[in-house]
Amino acid sequence: MLKLIEPRQNRLEMVVMEDLVPPDHLLRKLDRYLDFDFIRDRVKSLYCQNNGRPALDPVVLFKMLFIGYLFGVRSERQLVREIQVNVAYRWFLGLGLTDKVIDASTFSQNRRRRFLDSAIEQQIFDAIVQQAMQHGLIRGEVLYTDSTHLKAHANKNKWEGQTVSQTPATYLSELERAVSEDRQKHGKPALKASSKAPDPREIKISTTDPQSGYMTREGKPQGFFYLDHRTVDGQHALITDTFVTAGNVHDSRPYLARLDRQCEAFAFVPRAVGLDAGYQTPAICLGLEQREIYGVIGYRRPSHKDGYLYKRQFIYHADSDHYRCPNDQVIGYRTTTREGYRQYHSDPDQCRGCPLLSACTHSRNTTKVITRSLARQCRAG
């Protein structure tokens, strides 16, 4: 039998907000481990101390941003509407059931104006990471880094061409030094400074969002994007660093600088890092070796022609710094290239009569060339 239920919406009830929030709610876990009161001291310099209207609590402003991020609410107006009806959100912000939520425009203008050109977001991020470390949630021993493309609000067909000069990344100076030392070790003369200036290149600049970059990657959509470079700790997959660049910046460019920043800011002593194949560059491998960090980098399958010998069939002997081919011929060191690779060349006189020649090389001088990175501690995983 159906029973008619009387409306209860207008009934006065005595409730405690603490009892309305489930004990396993994500916001309860955050509130248990993180103390956000430090935000007031960090932003004090951005507020007038002796006049003006009473300011909105900055802790509430930043907690609202956290709620939007954690629960995927991208619209600030929608976020305000969600807070109005969600008891857990109100509890996390310290609001009562009848307290008024700030207007969306007030929230937006504080975010866009008051904290503009300040490093407060990075300071708050760092302080939260440090609190997580104090609770044993982050160790900084194993770090994983990758980038995610974020679509810019820009039409990919509205752009202007701009010619830019290519400048080498700062970390390449370390690679050049390592190349010079390796050549000297093998009795080779130092490479002459390159007199050829890098060729300028044409890039697309969005007329809507000039800070974004036109991204063209295999398997990825084309258009104007940003790249969010993130590092997570291996213990509980908590984010320890995030850094945004234009979409046309290669993943490897900001990596070493951001790694060093984490080690300096949080006293991390990483013993290993995990990266995808996009980070497999000589400079990254060399930088990890110099920092005594074991690097596991995603494997990018090389192109291989059917019927040819695999590189793994040529055995490297570290004690005498040479390779031996499947026919037991010694392939000795020849030079170290500017790009950070050693080259090993076979003896063409022995190769000419080798029964494996057709499966080894088709070079005109019948010479097999094998390249080896200077940083072999950085293994492909």
Domain ranges of the chain: 17-133, 142-165+200-286, 311-380
Q: What is the pLDDT of residue 381?
A: 38
Q: How many of the other CB atoms lie within 10 Å of CB of 310?
A: 9
pTM: 0.76
Rounded distance, CA 167 to CA 253, Å? 12
DSSP string, 91-134: HHHT--TTPPPPPHHHHHHIIIIITTT--HHHHHHHHHHHHHHH
Burial class (CB in 10 A: 0-12, 13-18, 19+), 51: exposed
The pair phi, psi for residue 370, each rounded to 5°, is -120, 135
Q: Is 322 helix (H, G, I), strand (E, B) or coil?
A: strand
| CB-based contact 174:283 (threshold 8 Å) | yes
In Å, what is the CA distance from 47 to each residue of 44, 63, 114? 6, 18, 8
Q: What is the pLDDT of residue 11?
A: 81
Each of the 381 residues of the chain gets a pLDDT tens digit; together they read: 677 777 777 788 888 889 999 999 999 999 998 999 999 998 888 887 777 777 788 999 999 999 999 999 989 999 999 999 999 999 999 999 989 998 888 888 887 888 877 889 999 999 999 999 999 999 999 999 999 999 999 998 999 988 876 665 555 666 777 788 888 888 888 887 765 556 677 889 999 999 999 998 877 889 999 999 999 999 999 999 999 999 999 888 899 999 999 999 999 999 999 999 889 887 888 889 889 999 999 877 767 788 889 888 999 998 899 999 999 999 999 999 887 889 999 999 999 989 999 999 988 899 999 998 876 534 433
Q: How many of the other CB atoms lie within 10 Å of CB of 360?
A: 22
Rounded distance, CA 146 to CA 243, Å? 11
Q: What is the pLDDT of residue 148?
A: 92
